[in-house]
Structure 1
Amino acid sequence: MRTVHIVIMGCGRLGSTLAHNLDGRGHSVAVIDQNSDAFRRLGADFNGTTVTGIGFDRDVLRTAGIERADAFAAVSSGDNSNIISARLARETFGVSRVVARIYDARRAQVYERLGIPTVATIRWAADRMVRHLVPEGRVEVFRDPTSVISIVEVPLHRDWVGRTVKTLEEQSGARVAYLMRFGMGTLGTPSTVLQDGDQVFMLVTDETVQAVLDIGSLAHKEGR
Structure 2
Amino acid sequence: MRVAIAGAGAVGRSIARELVRSNHHVMLLERKPDHLEPDTIPQAEWVLGDACELSLLETTQLETYDVVIAATGEDKANLVLSLLAKTEFGVGRVVARVNDPRNEWLFDESWGVDVAVSTPRMLASLVEEAVTVGDLVRLMTLRQGQANLVEITLPDDTALAGKPVRKMRLPRDAALVTILRGGRVIVPQPDDPLEGGDELLFVASVEVEDDLRVAVGLGTPGGSGPVDG
Normalised TM-score (structure 2): 0.54
Distance 1:140 1:27, change over 3 A: farther
Q: What is the CA distance between 1:58 and its match in structure 2?
A: 1.7
Which structure has the highest helix share of the two?
1
How far apart are the structure 1 equivalents of 2:42 and 2:163? 40
Cα offsets for 1:24-76 (capped at 9, x unmatched): 11000001011122122x53443110111111112212333311000001011
Match of 1:16 among 13, 16, 25: 13
How far apart are the structure 2 equivalents of 1:147 and 1:63? 58
Structural mapping, 1:146-157, within 5 Å: 149=165
Q: Does 1:5 align with 2:2?
A: yes
How far apart are the structure 1 equivalents of 2:92 and 2:71? 17
How far apart are the structure 2 equivalents of 1:63 and 1:21? 25
5+ unaligned residues in a row in structure 1: which ranges? Answer: 126-131, 133-138, 151-164, 191-202, 204-224
Distance 1:177 1:33, change over 3 A: closer
Match of 1:39 among 36, 41, 44: 36
Q: Which amino acid aligns with 2:103?
A: R
Is the 8 Å Cα contact of residues 177 and 187 (structure 1) preserved in structure 2?
A: no
Rg bigger for which structure? Answer: 2
Q: Does 1:89 align with 2:85?
A: yes
Structural mapping, 1:1-224, within 5 Å: 4-40=1-37, 43-114=39-110, 116=113, 117-121=115-119, 149=165, 166=172, 168=173, 179=204, 187=209
Structure 1 consecutive aligned stretches of length 4 or more whose deviation exceeds 3 Å:
42-45, 139-150, 176-181
Is the 8 Å Cα contact of residues 52 and 81 (structure 2) preserved in structure 1?
A: yes
How far apart are the structure 2 equivalents of 1:180 and 1:39? 40
Partner SS for 1:32: strand
Partner SS for 2:43: coil
5+ unaligned residues in a row in structure 2: which ranges? Answer: 124-141, 143-148, 155-160, 175-189, 191-200, 217-229
Q: What is the CA distance between 1:90 and its match in structure 2?
A: 0.8
How far apart are the structure 2 equivalents of 1:112 and 1:186? 20
Q: What is the CA distance between 1:89 and its match in structure 2?
A: 0.3
Partner SS for 2:108: helix
Q: Which amino acid aligns with 1:18?
A: I
The percentage of counterpart residues that share the same residue type is 22
How far apart are the structure 2 equivalents of 1:26 and 1:148? 39
Count of aligned pairs between the two proteins: 154
Q: CA RMSD in A?
A: 4.0
Q: What is the CA distance between 1:107 and its match in structure 2?
A: 1.8
